[in-house]
Amino acid sequence: MTFASVRAETAVPWQQDARIIALVGLAHAASHFGHLLLPLMFPVFMHEFALSFSQVGLLMSTFFVVSGLGQASAGFVVDKVGARPMLFLALGLFVCACLAASMVTSYVALFAVAALAGLANATFHPVDFTILNQRVSAARLGHAFSAHGLTGNLGWAAAPVFIASLSALYNWRVAYLAAAAMYLAILLLMLLQRDKLLTHAATHHPDSPAAHSMAFMKLPVVWWCFAFFLLSTMTLAVVQSFSVSILKAMHGISFEAATLTLTAYMLCGALGMLVGGFLVNKSRHSDRVVAMSMTAAAILLALCGTGWFGATLTMLVLAATGFAVGVGGPSRDMMIKKATPKGATGRVYGLVYSGLDTGFAISPIVFGALMDRGWYGATLMGASVVLLLSVVAALGVGARTELDTSSGRDQ
């Protein structure tokens, strides 16, 4: 029996779905782990290579610009050759990036590492969602999206422990060598389990919007999705990049406590995604679930920006913000699935998730200007406003999807 016929069965063994979800989740965690390969070593790089904050910040802009452009392109390749080869390539590129990072001796070399890691990161979302949509039974797809988001947050949470611990025990170059070994081990596991990662190349119906490779870009709903990811990620980037500095400046919170708050935000986000996995299968309107969760998060973030709370309550509310965002995560992914025409999964997810990279790339520039002026509360308030704009985009996705469905577009 082929995987396509298995996918069509009404009673797919849960063990089969669980293995696929676990493999894709591990790959997603590895991708998010890669986001922090360079930022965690910024203090070291600044000391060893005499760099400024602006100079090390450009490294991450390079990472996300390359990742965003690559992600939009990778979706086309995934649709043509399948997801599995691209997953193997991405993990191999992360191995190379970590090896290169362990040997850098200059600022220019760090740019090369950032570009290589960004290229490795580019393929994961179109790969992940193509595998999940094709290989996981429909009844468990909501839980698959929940696990996917949860493992991404865990990848973020694991990176500081892994890199910092090995750097303290040995040195930062050994930490990067260990990271290369980790990625190699994950690659070998994926190779051993390759039968569970097989997907078919896209086939197009002549009357489908996906029949021509670029036709999907004419669909307004695709750009509504892109706008949602760009805006919501700008807010996430503010929390990741500036929340520690904001907590220290506004409330005199220690570096350790502020960092712990950021970790709590990520872990609460993972818990929220777990809860959201149960909600996504119970709601026919994924866009409304996303809108409500993001609105709640925006309100909590704005309250943190007012400065009305003391240090402890501000830390708790900020962590709760992560939970609210996380609850909407699985519904967000289901929202994109519903908006995606048949035969264009890789391309649509590639383009839409490049909005995530774009948000990460431009947010430090926009909100960094507020931080430079000491407008810490305004930074959080601004991030809250941007998150509310993402709510408008989410509702736009839902409205446009219903319009396209009612007009006869094949979902």
pLDDT for res 281 = 65
pLDDT for res 47 = 82
At residue 83 the predicted structure's pLDDT band, cuts being 50, 70 and 90, is confident
* Greatest mean pLDDT among 126-135, 212-221, 297-306: 297-306
**pTM of the entire structure?**
0.73
Judged against a pLDDT cut of 50, whether residue 411 lies above it is answered with: no
CATH of domain 205-411: 1.20.1250.20
205-411: same fold as 9-201? yes
> Residue 345 has which token pair?
């999964």
Measured between alpha carbons, how far is residue 227 from residues 123, 231, 284, 393 in Å?
A: 20, 6, 22, 6
**Mean pLDDT value across residues 53-76:** 79
Torsion sign over Cα 173, 175, 177, 183: negative
Amino acid making up residue 303: L
Domain boundaries, the chain: 9-201, 205-411
DSSP letters, 11-68, are ---HHHHHHHHHHHHHHHHHHHHHHTTTGGGHHHHHHHHT--HHHHHHHHHHHHHHHH
Q: How far apart are the first and last CA of the chain?
A: 26
Write down the mean pLDDT value for the chain: 81
| Nearest CA among 73, 99, 94, 80 for reference residue 30 | 94
Q: What is the pLDDT of residues 36-46, one digit of tens each?
A: 888 778 778 87
Judged against a pLDDT cut of 60, whether residue 361 lies above it is answered with: yes
Residue with tokens 């190349």: 201
**By mean pLDDT, which of 7-16, 73-82, 171-180 is the weakest?**
7-16
| Nearest CA among 335, 354, 401 for reference residue 125 | 354
Judged against a pLDDT cut of 80, whether residue 233 lies above it is answered with: yes
* Greatest mean pLDDT among 108-117, 211-220, 223-232, 318-327: 108-117
* Domain 9-201 coded CATH 1.20.1250.20: yes
pLDDT for res 299 = 93
At residue 211 the predicted structure's pLDDT band, cuts being 50, 70 and 90, is very low
